[in-house]
Copies of this chain bind each other. A is one copy, B any other.
Amino acid sequence: MPEHDIAPQSHNGAALLDPEPERPATPPGDLSDAVSAPGRELLAVLARHLPRIRAEAGPNDRDGTFPAETFRAFGVDGVLGATVPAELGGLGVSRLHDVAVALLRVAEADASTALALHAQLSRGITLTYEWEHGAPPTRALAERLLRAMARGEAVVCGAVKDFGREVTRLRPDGAGGWLLSGRKMLVTMAPIATHFVVSAQAPMAGGETLLYAPIVARDTPGLSIVDGWSGLGMRASGTLDIAFDDCPVPAGDVLARGSVGAHSDAALAGQAISSVAMLGIYAGVAQAARDFTVDAVARRSAEAPAASRTLVAEIEARLYTLKATASAALVNIDELSPRLEMDSGERGRRMMTPFQCAKVTVNQLAAEVVDDCVTVVGGATYVAEHPLARLYRDVRAGRFMQPYTYADGVDYLSAQVLGLERDNNYVSLRATRPADSR
């Protein structure tokens, strides 16, 4: 490991202030360690929280309780600002690879906590991009939020999926600002959110529909939090619905996100960056299942039967495979992330294609690993609160994570490979589908 990797001045992931920018280590390919110094620092900080997270995982799953205290402690320790640049007060983790490793560690203890934390860490990455490359009002907004995230004071959720057949819409308020109305579902980390980044449509004169992402503070008039979701798994992720009733949003708090039907692949970069680190969560779920199982089998007095030895070997091979595949997709995005000189569509596709390949594999293999672990450990796992039963429920969330469902992933990948024209922006694509088929 080169010594400059651990130099004291290296808390800063951004190259600007550092005359000798840190060169990340070669990623080990198995998500076993961070490649950047800030990433390693984040792992060290998180390690202190893992015992509590692990201890609360079962009860929170049973009750569907969000681990608010853990997130409060995250705020105190800077975890909520882990991906905020150092010069704005954050830990400066900029590598998605390292974010995924951190989420893997958390998910080994509790997948729900990792899923909620992902929302914040991912937001730090994308707001940093806005801060570096946005228009002046956007930069100011991003800076304000990022600084608050670093202080543990801002918690920023994404709200993408419309509830039912209703479309969440922005309309001009007549005074240069906007009014937001609609309802979003599956908003993770919502119980402690201070802000929501909301996917919204704005129909324009002429028939075009523009896409926006207004950032709405929790105390905005007209915003209400609707309880009620009780998940099959990921039950402690604080996943709720949010309703908007003519919520006022200043023009400067609205990010442009293209238009419906534009078929612009430039959007893919941000969508890949926002979601790819979630692969670490499912790697953590599979790792936890594997570790539990190996421990259980190794402690038995009787020799492991033939099928258990075969399954244990297959579990090991699949876990290695899923981590290697996730790692490759993460490193690829990390490499492309700063290459803004590239054609933006090309850059987007070159991020998204390996990510989608990895997502298909991670979703499948993580579920297979957990399932084989259940088989190996046996009937004792078939209890609602058994750790493997929780993992069996949690792991199934993977296929539903953004940006693409399995069916959309197949459409995307096959279109890429066969050279077919297609709208790859999933927000735009959904907006063009009948409400019952979104």
Contacts and interface: CB of A to CB of B under 8 A. Distances in A.
Nearest to A233: B382
A175 B218 CA distance: 77
A39 B376 CA distance: 37
A319 to B, nearest CB: 8
Interface residues of A, number: 94
A361 interface: yes
A48 interface: no
Contact of A361 (B232, B321, B332): B321
Given A313-B409, A320-B354, A29 B328 contact: yes
Nearest to A297: B418
Contacts of A378: 400, 405
Given A231-B383, A418-B297, A27 B26 contact: yes
B29 A327 contact: yes
Nearest to A397: B382
A407 B361 contact: no
A356 interface: yes
A312 B406 CA distance: 13
B331 A29 contact: yes
Given A29-B328, A382-B232, A382-B396, A413 B321 contact: no
Contact of A327 (B231, B324, B386, B389): B324
A422 to B, nearest CB: 11
A19 interface: no
B232 A306 contact: no
A348 B360 CA distance: 32
A437 B26 contact: no
> In this complex, which of A30, A323, A417 has the most chain B Cβ atoms within 10 angstroms of its Cβ?
A417
Interface stretch (A124-132, A245-253, A265-273, A367-375): A367-375
B327 A328 contact: yes
Q: Copies per complex?
A: 4
Interface string A412-425: 11101111000000
Contacts of A335: 26, 28
B354 A232 contact: no
Contact of A229 (B29, B318, B383, B417): B383
Contact of A28 (B317, B332, B374, B437): B332
A403 B205 CA distance: 53
Interface in A352-399: 353-354, 356-358, 360-361, 367, 371, 374-376, 378-379, 381-386, 389, 392-393, 396-397, 399
Given A26-B26, A307-B310, A317-B358, 17 more contacts: A23-B23, A29-B327, A29-B329, A30-B328, A232-B381, A232-B392, A302-B433, A302-B436, A305-B411, A306-B414, A307-B313, A312-B413, A312-B417, A313-B409, A313-B413, A320-B358, A323-B328
Interface of A: 23-24, 26-30, 161, 186, 229-235, 294, 297-302, 304-314, 316-321, 323-325, 327-329, 331-332, 335, 353-354, 356-358, 360-361, 367, 371, 374-376, 378-379, 381-386, 389, 392-393, 396-397, 399-400, 405-414, 416-419, 433-434, 436-437
